[in-house]
Structure 1
Amino acid sequence: MPSTRPGNTKQPELPQRQLLQRAVAHLRGGQLDLAEPLLVSILQRWPGYPDALHFLGVLEHIRGRSEEAVSLIRQAIVRLPGEAGPLNNLGNVLVETQRYDEAEKAYRDCLAFQPDQVDALTNLATLLRKRRQHAEAEALCRRAVKARPDFALAWYTLSLALVEQGHIDEGLKAHARGVALAPKQLQARNAMPKALVHKGRLEDAAQLYRAWLAIEPDNPVVRHHLAACVGGTVPERASDAYVEKTFDAFAATFDANLAALDYRAPQLVTDMLESLLAPPSRQYDVLDLGCGTGLCGPLVREWARELSGCDLSQGMLAQAGRRRVYDKLEHAELVAYLNDNPRRFDVLICADTLCYFGELHDALRAAAAALRPGGRFVFTVEAWKSDGGESYKLQPHGRYAHHRGYLRRLLSQVGLNELALNEEQLRVESGQPVIGWLVAAQLP
């Protein structure tokens, strides 16, 4: 959690303080184009003013310029010895750029100056949880809730640290405290039932979802995950509202979260393209379906005369835009976008997006219609290997898995020639490999 409190080691002159307060208000409100010129003007009039350096660094990070952000925040830290806020924000930037050792040091330095800084305590606990240092993560969260009992995120994080150590009942109690304090923190609240699913405690997870749904009966995320836990009537695909709300909620931390899972789908898609296409010379029109934060973009850019991306999440598209590799980014559902662009693309790629579809016929038919003759389509889905005859299955964690035979039948039905259908490890989740299919097809 970022801190947006100015340092207080030195009271600035009134004009500085007033300008800074205006800039920070714009920054908090997401009005970056208003905040930036104010911060720049402060530094022009008062070079080296540490709070302006700090918040300009936060702004640069929000814009996706993380190296500039690290440099600016480090300059502020030198000028604000003993000030906790910039160290906490430095840790946040370093986590999102996957520099975890440096991030841990920043958080610990922050706590050395201010031992009860609840943002840093919780952020460090989250980092240590992902490093499987659960006992210390628990201890940090307990310090945070002791210092500030109404800090919901610390209770949510404590609940996960407890469950990951096998203390289910105690974890559920901590989760209940978080829910009572902040019931609408979607990502934090949903982390507990998802953790229970990974522990095999499907009924415990379902109970949490039922209680949640009783208060928010139209919440698409809760409805989808409850169906995944209990089975019964399974939707043919995740709803647009589910996808949009889910991915908007964790767009800012998406890349760091996937890095911790040894996420391989973008590289697998790229490797398959290398085996199918001529050496890259910006010769193809390429569409990245469900592009997310744009992890595939830099890998395929050199093949693209024009590189387009579409996604349902505005938050994810904002992150993709910061990479500055896409020529076009569209807020659109992928089947609709394909249908609106017949014979428009030479290459379609789709890394880990079709796992939110069960029934794939419409998506593959639309892909075939959007390709030019000879065009290629490379995508990943999770693998369902049951011999029970199911074409696909909604798994308890909320993603669909597909049977190899079903994919082959569909490719033939929509007029795509199968070029490859390989079994691959897509990621590691809860210590277990997630196996999927890497598929390549061509329009004749």
Structure 2
Amino acid sequence: MTTMPDRAGTVAEAEAEAEAEADANVPGTATVGVLLAHAAALVREQKLDAADELLVRILQATPGDPDALHYQGLLRHAQGRGDESIALIGRSLSLKPAQSGAWNNLGNLLVEIGRIDDAMRAYENSVSFASGGDEGADALSNIASLERKKGHWHAAERVSRRAIELRPDFSEAWYNLSIALMEQGRIHESVIANSRAVLLQPRNLSARSQVIRALELLGEREQAIGMYREWLAEAPGHPVVSHLLAACEGHAPARASDGYVETVFDSYAGSFDASLEKLHYRAPELVARAVQEMHGSPAANLAVVDAGCGTGLCAPLLRPWAAHLAGCDLSVGMLQRAEQRGGYDVLHKAELTHYLDTQPARFDLVASADTLCYFGDLHEVLAAAARALRPEGGVVFTVEAMAGGQDDFTLEGSGRYRHAAAHVQACLAAAGFGAIRIEPIVPRREAGQDVQGWLASARLCAH
């Protein structure tokens, strides 16, 4: 998260300081530093127009002031003008490289747009220019976060410990350490680190869910359920907590709620692609292979929808078959990344079943990589897919495989569903599909283990 330098607590405090300097006959009524403190306070209090006006005045009086450019860059980010934000902070750093906080803020902005390698270099510069105390702790924790998302667990552990040495009460660093330990199989140590993160920041969603997940893995299911219930009492109706409690209790709603999907994936969007690299993620290429088996060589003659498009990883793989390629997702953050990646003719924010129901006989192909694992019962969504297809249109998708048992599907502690092949087959047939093919796949790895899945393809039966 980008942060304004803490130069003043509130607008009132900054104004009081400016007035004091004016009374002391300081040249120019108030120093640039005091005015910047005033601007920072305005941004923190969400008075963005006033902050913008003040920063413009400062830069008119002192063109090229590095601190003012840094502040203006952060303001542009708060205004949703990301490209300008990065350019302004970059200009500030070119004029005054020794700004640890500005390098860290630049790294955060670069992560948001998926420039992970550039972000890593920015964080490293932040550490290099740290002037002492705990100034480098934020950047170290951010480096650890990127390392763990790349699957570099030993590096993530090492850097997290450095951040904790600088700032022992740093919740985020304790959380990063807990993940690194968990992925190395050091579950007891992970629980201790994660408990520390939760104690320091009880509302840290990621840390709190991770410590409960660790208890599940240790077989402490009743304790995990108790912690979820306690958490839900503090945050009634929270979509993520409600969903994970259902999984822990062995209940399985028909699908993950809209609130769950939006909350999880909006927060995940900036680092999604980097996270998948460490998982050896293959779902998009497996879907593309099935499309080729169904339609042969690409001829750019199909109307295709990428159902649950995420950040757009399937776009370059589906595009050769598509005269028109649409993407649909529930997460605004994911759609923003998909738009940046390009390849789609149109993108829609919508719940998948509802979207397909609004597109009768619109497509020749519905493709979906790693999305239907957030649905339990597949009857409704596959029936909607059938209605969205033209005669003899096809569907291709992946789900995670359920190992044995009598159930059609089960909700895992990860928040994702696993499906029996028989359920996939039955839902496709009920929706009017024939030529059904379901094959075992390994769409990715997690915690050093292959994740088992199904790759399904089918065509609408001719009438």
SS at match of 1:252: helix
- Measured after TM superposition, the shift of residue 368 of structure 1 is 0.8
With over 3 angstroms needed to count, the CA separation of the structure-2 counterparts of 1:72 and 1:442, relative to structure 1, is farther
Identity %: 44
The residue that corresponds to 2:102 in the other structure is 86
The residue that corresponds to 1:224 in the other structure is 243
| TM-score, normalised relative to structure 1 | 0.81
With over 3 angstroms needed to count, the CA separation of the structure-2 counterparts of 1:70 and 1:15, relative to structure 1, is closer
SS at match of 2:269: coil
Contact kept, 8 Å, 1:23 with 1:39, in 2: the verdict is no
- Code of the residue aligned with 1:436 in structure 2: it is G
The residue that corresponds to 2:143 in the other structure is 124
The residue that corresponds to 1:317 in the other structure is 335
Find 1:109's aligned residue among 98, 120, 125: 125
- Cα deviation 1:176-220 (Å, max 9, x = unaligned): 443344433333433333455566664554343233123223222
Gaps of 5+ in 1: none
The residue that corresponds to 1:142 in the other structure is 164
- Code of the residue aligned with 1:131 in structure 2: it is H
Contact kept, 8 Å, 2:247 with 2:415, in 1: the verdict is yes
Q: Distance in 1 between matches of 2:46 and 2:376?
A: 38
Find 1:187's aligned residue among 193, 206, 209: 206
The residue that corresponds to 1:355 in the other structure is 373
Equivalences for residues 244-263 of structure 1 within 5 A: 244-263=262-281
Contact kept, 8 Å, 1:3 with 1:119, in 2: the verdict is no
Q: Distance in 1 between matches of 2:51 and 2:298?
A: 40
- Code of the residue aligned with 2:165 in structure 1: it is R
The residue that corresponds to 1:284 in the other structure is 302
Q: Distance in 2 between matches of 1:375 and 1:245?
A: 33
The residue that corresponds to 1:300 in the other structure is 318
With over 3 angstroms needed to count, the CA separation of the structure-2 counterparts of 1:418 and 1:140, relative to structure 1, is farther
The residue that corresponds to 1:396 in the other structure is 413
Contact kept, 8 Å, 2:82 with 2:109, in 1: the verdict is no
Contact kept, 8 Å, 1:311 with 1:334, in 2: the verdict is yes
Contact kept, 8 Å, 2:433 with 2:460, in 1: the verdict is yes
**1:437 partnered with 2:458:** no
**1:274 partnered with 2:292:** yes
- Measured after TM superposition, the shift of residue 364 of structure 1 is 0.9
The residue that corresponds to 2:194 in the other structure is 175
- Measured after TM superposition, the shift of residue 397 of structure 1 is 1.6
| TM-score, normalised relative to structure 2 | 0.78
- Cα deviation 1:262-314 (Å, max 9, x = unaligned): 22212221222233335445422221212222222233234333322222223
Q: Distance in 2 between matches of 1:296 and 1:416?
A: 23
- Cα deviation 1:213-264 (Å, max 9, x = unaligned): 2322322211221222231x32222222222222223222222222222222
SS at match of 2:198: helix
Find 1:376's aligned residue among 394, 402, 423: 394
The residue that corresponds to 1:424 in the other structure is 441
Contact kept, 8 Å, 1:104 with 1:124, in 2: the verdict is yes
Contact kept, 8 Å, 1:27 with 1:35, in 2: the verdict is no
With over 3 angstroms needed to count, the CA separation of the structure-2 counterparts of 1:202 and 1:112, relative to structure 1, is farther
Contact kept, 8 Å, 1:128 with 1:136, in 2: the verdict is no
The range that moved more, 249-258 or 47-56, is: 47-56
- Code of the residue aligned with 1:88 in structure 2: it is N
Contact kept, 8 Å, 2:160 with 2:173, in 1: the verdict is no
Find 1:413's aligned residue among 415, 430, 445: 430
- Measured after TM superposition, the shift of residue 38 of structure 1 is 10
**1:157 partnered with 2:176:** yes
Contact kept, 8 Å, 1:91 with 1:107, in 2: the verdict is yes
- Code of the residue aligned with 1:337 in structure 2: it is Y
The residue that corresponds to 1:365 in the other structure is 383
Q: Distance in 1 between matches of 2:243 and 2:90?
A: 43
- Code of the residue aligned with 1:253 in structure 2: it is S
The number of residues matched between the two structures is 433
Contact kept, 8 Å, 1:198 with 1:430, in 2: the verdict is no
The range that moved more, 123-132 or 177-186, is: 177-186
Q: Distance in 2 between matches of 1:238 and 1:342?
A: 24
Contact kept, 8 Å, 2:335 with 2:347, in 1: the verdict is yes
Contact kept, 8 Å, 1:306 with 1:327, in 2: the verdict is yes
Contact kept, 8 Å, 1:6 with 1:51, in 2: the verdict is no
SS at match of 1:322: helix
- Code of the residue aligned with 2:95 in structure 1: it is R
Contact kept, 8 Å, 1:2 with 1:119, in 2: the verdict is no
- Cα deviation 1:18-65 (Å, max 9, x = unaligned): 69986996799698x999999999999988664576678776899898
Q: CA RMSD for the aligned pairs?
A: 4.0
Rg bigger for which structure? 2
Q: Distance in 1 between matches of 2:343 and 2:77?
A: 18
Gaps of 5+ in 2: 8-27
Q: Distance in 1 between matches of 2:288 and 2:50?
A: 39
Contact kept, 8 Å, 1:20 with 1:39, in 2: the verdict is no
Q: Distance in 1 between matches of 2:333 and 2:112?
A: 15
